[in-house]
């Protein structure tokens, strides 16, 4: 602007008002958008959340295959962000599969059968519909949702608060109040409670799934009277197990006994998922090797009968004379 007969405005004239702090309504709208994003997207792979889904100790949601790719040694996974970006997201909370719990959502079959419903069309395109098995209300952004450890069943928080039980209503497995985990908590008190729970479990040598942490110290023999009391029952259980009839082998016509996979994973679903991730990594390495071969570079070298390179284009056709006697 200028030199055309017009005026040059100053910053004071352009900026009429100073920056203001966001209002409560604006903060709520931003929080709602963040909730919708993290309820629909895996922060590791940046793909849509799809079962199987796991959660860490602070209630964040991830695709299980993305966590497996992060935990696998080697180069960065093809379907996830770089290792450094993933570590920044996880903040050291996930070091093994014991640090996450697989969640079991109740699927809304009516929503799955009628995706043309105008009310739920947008949500159906984003992900499948999940509901609380007790209240039948949809769980997700806008609804305070929790899951139980170690079983992983998901409920609306109001259903757990009203029933006040100590056993899961889906699988009848026992749980305590501190093992009720809020999914994607928004209140600061809920976040601090989950952080304190994680620190307490770490001090006890346990992980988020209440399993022993890898490398934790084993209990000393005869450390407490409780160990001595439980010893007879353990020996009795071992004797009962030895006296029980063994299952028939497959050669005798019986059902074959399931054995853990070669990689040490006993869960069939996790083992198949890990095998698929390893297969993708191997295919990626093969493609890298194929791309590394270049016919133009190979043509610059001569090859012997055994296939080895003998000389390059600098010395091809030149022979060193023999030393005179």
Task: Count the alpha carbons within 13 Å of 143 in the hemisphere toward its beta carbon.
Answer: 19
Dihedral angle of Cα 62, 66, 72, 75, to the nearest 10 degrees:
-130
Nearest to 129 by CA among 147, 148, 113, 151: 113
Predicted confidence (pLDDT) at residue 255 exceeds the cutoff of 50: no
Rounded Cα gap, residues 213 and 202, in angstroms? 8
Contacts of 54 (CB under 8 A, 6+ apart): 61, 62, 63, 64, 67, 100, 101, 102, 103
Q: Which alpha helices (DSSP H) does 204-262 contain, by range?
A: 225-243
Rounded Cα gap, residues 29 and 281, in angstroms? 41
The fraction of the chain above a pLDDT of 90, given in percent, is 42
Nearest to 42 by CA among 58, 57, 63: 63
Predicted confidence (pLDDT) at residue 75 exceeds the cutoff of 70: no
Enter the tokens of residue 298.
């190979």
The reported pLDDT for the residue numbered 324 is 53
Domains in the chain and their CATH numbers?
A: 29-203 (3.30.40.10)
Exposure string for 261-286, b = 16+ CB within 10 A, e = fewer: eeeebeeeebbebbeebeeebeeeee
Rounded Cα gap, residues 76 and 86, in angstroms? 10
Q: How confident is the model at residue 246 (pLDDT cuts 50, 70, 90)?
A: low
pTM score above 0.75: no
Mean pLDDT of the chain: 76
**Across 91-100, 157-166, 220-229, 304-313, least confident range:** 220-229
pLDDT digits (tens, 9 = 90+) for 308-322: 555 555 555 555 555
Rounded Cα gap, residues 121 and 137, in angstroms? 17
């Amino acid at each position: 602007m200028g030199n055309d007969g017009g005026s040059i405005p100053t910053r004071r004239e352009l900026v009429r008002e100073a920056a203001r702090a966001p209002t409560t309504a604006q903060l709520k709208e931003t929080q709602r958008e963040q909730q919708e994003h993290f309820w629909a997207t895996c922060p590791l792979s940046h793909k849509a959340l799809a079962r199987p889904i796991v959660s860490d100790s602070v209630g964040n949601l991830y695709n299980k295959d993305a966590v497996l790719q992060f935990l696998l040694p080697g180069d960065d996974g093809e379907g996830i962000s770089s290792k450094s970006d993933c570590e920044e997201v996880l903040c050291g909370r996930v070091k093994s599969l014991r640090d996450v719990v697989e969640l079991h959502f109740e699927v809304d079959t009516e929503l799955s059968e009628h995706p043309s419903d105008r009310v739920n069309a947008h949500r159906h395109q984003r992900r499948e519909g999940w509901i609380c098995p007790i209240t039948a209300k949809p769980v997700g952004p806008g609804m305070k949702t929790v899951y139980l450890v170690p079983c992983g069943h998901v409920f609306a928080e109001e259903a757990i608060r009203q029933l006040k039980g100590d056993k899961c209503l889906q699988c009848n497995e026992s749980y305590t109040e501190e093992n009720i985990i809020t999914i994607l908590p928004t209140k600061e008190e809920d976040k601090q409670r989950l952080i304190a729970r994680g620190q307490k479990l770490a001090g006890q040598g346990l992980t988020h799934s209440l399993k022993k942490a890898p490398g934790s110290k084993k209990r000393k023999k005869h450390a407490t009277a409780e160990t001595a009391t439980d010893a007879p029952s353990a020996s009795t259980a071992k004797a009962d197990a030895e006296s029980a009839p063994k299952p028939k082998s497959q050669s005798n016509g019986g059902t074959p006994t399931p054995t853990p996979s070669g990689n040490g994973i006993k869960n069939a679903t996790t083992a198949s998922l890990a095998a698929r991730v390893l297969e993708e990594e191997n295919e990626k390495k093969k493609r890298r090797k194929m791309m590394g071969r270049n016919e133009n570079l190979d043509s610059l070298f001569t090859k012997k009968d055994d296939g080895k390179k003998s000389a390059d284009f600098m010395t091809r056709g030149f022979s060193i004379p023999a030393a005179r006697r």
